[in-house]
Amino acid sequence: MGMTMTQKILAAHAHLPSVEAGQLIEADLDLVLGNDITSPVAIHEMDGKMKDSSVFDKDKIALVMDHFVPNKDIKSAEHCKCVREFAARHEITNFFDVGEMGIEHALLPEKGLVVAGDVVIGADSHTCTYGALGAFSTGVGSTDMAAGMATGKAWFKVPSAIKIELTGRLSKWVSGKDVILHIIGMIGVDGALYQSMEFTGEGVSALSMDDRFTIANMAIEAGGKNGIFPVDEKAEAYMKEHSVRPFKAYEADEDAEYARVIRLDLSSIRPTVAFPHLPENTRSIDEAGEVAVDQVVIGSCTNGRMDDLRTAAKILEGRKVKKGVRTIVIPATQKIYLQAMEEGLLKTFIEAGAIVSTPTCGPCLGGYMGVLAEGERCVSTTNRNFVGRMGHVSSEVYLASPAVAAASAVTGRISGPEALGM
Amino acid sequence: MRAQGTVFKYGDNVDTDVIIPARYLNSSDPAELATHCMEDIDRDFVKKVKKGDIIVASKNFGCGSSREHAPISIKAAGVSCVIAETFARIFYRNAINIGLPIIECAEAARGIEAGDEVEIDFDSGMIYNKTRDTRFKGQAFPEFMQKIIAAEGLMNYINETKKQA
Tell me the average pLDDT of chain B.
94
Ranges of residues in chain A whose predicted pLDDT is under 50: none
A139 near B CB under 8 A: yes
* B118/B129 Cα distance (integer angstroms): 5
A interface test, pick of B43, B68, B94 with most A CB neighbours within 10 Å: B68
Q: Choose among B119, B85, B120, B90: nearest CA to B19.
A: B90
Query: Which DSSP letter does residue A372 get?
Result: B
pLDDT at B164 over 70: no
Contacts of A128 (CB under 8 A, 6+ apart): A137, A138, A139, A216, A217, A219, A220, A224, A225, A226, A227
Contacts of B78 (CB under 8 A, 6+ apart): B34, B49, B50, B51, B52, B53
Residues B49-62 have a mean pLDDT of 98
* A73/A310 Cα distance (integer angstroms): 32
By Cβ distance, the residue of A75, A140, A143 closest to B155 is A143
* A76/A190 Cα distance (integer angstroms): 32
By Cβ distance, the residue of B22, B66, B155 closest to A49 is B155
Q: Choose among A193, A36, A185: nearest CA to B63.
A: A193
Query: Does the predicted TM-score (pTM) go above 0.90?
Result: yes
Vertex B22 angle, CA A182 and A402, to 5°: 35
Q: How confident is the model at residue B163 (pLDDT cuts 50, 70, 90)?
A: low
pLDDT at B124: 84
Q: Per-residue DSSP letters for B72-118?
A: HHHHHTT--EEEES-B-HHHHHHHHHHT--EEE-HHHHHH--TT-EE
Q: Is B34 in contact with B76 (CB distance < 8 Å)? A: yes
Query: Which DSSP letter does residue A321 get?
Result: P
pLDDT at B165 over 70: no
Q: Is A203 in contact with A10 (CB distance < 8 Å)? A: no
A72 near B CB under 8 A: yes
| Beta-bridge partner residues of A96 | A64
Q: Is A328 in contact with A369 (CB distance < 8 Å)? A: yes
Q: Locate the chain B residue with the closest alpha carbon to A51.
A: B159
A374 near B CB under 8 A: no
Domain spans in chain B, listed from the N-terminal domain onward = 2-164
Are A155 and B69 inside 8 Å of each other by CB?
no
* A397/A377 Cα distance (integer angstroms): 6
A81, A84, A89, A94 alpha-carbon torsion, rounded to 10°: 170
Quote the minimal CA–CA distance from A391 to chain B in Å.
8
* A23/A114 Cα distance (integer angstroms): 25
Interface of A with B in 8-27 (CB under 8 A): 24
Are B86 and A225 inside 8 Å of each other by CB?
no
What backbone torsions phi and psi does residue B50 show, to the nearest 5 degrees?
-120, 160
E strands, B10-67, in order: 54-57
B interface test, pick of A49, A143, A194, A278 with most B CB neighbours within 10 Å: A143
Q: Per-residue DSSP letters for A133-179?
A: GT-EEEE--HHHHHHHHHHSEEEEEPP-EEEEEEES-PPTT--HHHH
* A317/A407 Cα distance (integer angstroms): 11
By Cβ distance, the residue of B26, B60, B156 closest to A190 is B60
B90 near A CB under 8 A: yes
* A104/A116 Cα distance (integer angstroms): 18
* Secondary-structure class of domain B2-164 per CATH: alpha beta
* A248/A229 Cα distance (integer angstroms): 13
Predicted confidence (pLDDT) per residue in B130-154, tens digit: 999 999 999 777 788 888 878 888 9
Ranges of H-type helices in A14-152: 39-49, 74-89, 104-110, 142-151
Predicted confidence (pLDDT) per residue in A66-77, tens digit: 999 999 999 999
B140 near A CB under 8 A: no
Q: Is A180 in contact with A214 (CB distance < 8 Å)? A: yes
Quote ipTM for the complex.
Answer: 0.95
pLDDT at A421: 96
